[in-house]
Copies of this chain bind each other. A is one copy, B any other.
């Protein structure tokens, strides 16, 4: 495998850009091919079957770009598809769940961890499973927050309606005295200040995007796959592909990534 090859990163839409951003920060030498499945977003209300099928299509697409490793930058796809697709693959594939779970387990002091995510992520129970494998006495309380994604996508990051919904979603978690909360959906870090205000300073907020970028860095090193920053770049360092609405994606990506995104290409993912 070519060390100079790009890393593939995919998500159901735009949320995974928070993971791409962390990878750009922590391993600035790496090239990235990002795919956002904007035609079929959201994944959080779909079945495992469908999520696995979509993930396989995306992985086949990313392989056509010669990626050396793949990051599933979507909690729902990590929850349902990672274990299956990783077994089928001859290049390393990691997801956001393991890194997020590990960080939460090392952050908690009282052993009570909350996980917020989409309906599908919470239903999967994957965070509980992974965290209890690390430390069996951990008590995990999951809470699906299905309105957070549409609220974030509407730009209501600081809004009374978002406050009200967040307050309802967090009530059962506060009742369990959690001291650590996993933001188990890539959109949620954009609501960090609301969550912080409602939970107070004593609760640690875990952002799996950050942890995943660290895991990727270590993985590439362990496999001798980390890119030499002195090797020549062929073509764009960062490439962006979506299944719909390329221009809207370009605008959003430019607003959250460190550098301007020049172009996003739309592809028909159903052909892969």
CB distance from A162 to the nearest CB of B (A): 10
With an 8 Å Cβ cutoff, the count of chain A residues facing the other chain is: 23
For residue A124, CB closer than 8 A to chain B, the reply is no
B40, B53, B151, B161: which contacts A40 (Cβ < 8 A)? Answer: B40
CA distance A146 to B154 in the complex (A): 8
B39, B47, B151: which contacts A46 (Cβ < 8 A)? Answer: B39
Task: Beyond the given A47-B244, A146-B153, please list 10 additional residue pairs across the A-B interface where CB-CB is below 8 A.
Answer: A39-B46, A46-B244, A47-B245, A147-B147, A147-B150, A147-B151, A160-B164, A161-B161, A161-B164, A164-B164
- A53: chain B residues at CB < 8 Å are 268
Q: Which residue of B lies closest to A13 (CB)?
A: B45
CA distance A146 to B155 in the complex (A): 11
- A40: chain B residues at CB < 8 Å are 39-40
CB distance from A194 to the nearest CB of B (A): 14
CA distance A151 to B150 in the complex (A): 9
For residue A270, CB closer than 8 A to chain B, the reply is yes
For residue A165, CB closer than 8 A to chain B, the reply is yes
User: Which A residues, 145 to 177, have Cβ-Cβ distances below 8 Å to chain B?
Assistant: 146-147, 150-151, 153-154, 160-161, 164-165
Let me know if B46 and A50 touch, CB within 8 A. Answer: no
Q: Which residue of B lies closest to A246 (CB)?
A: B47
Ordered by A's residue number, 7 sampled pairs between the chains whose C-beta atoms are within 8 Å are A39-B50, A45-B153, A47-B244, A53-B268, A146-B153, A150-B150, A270-B270
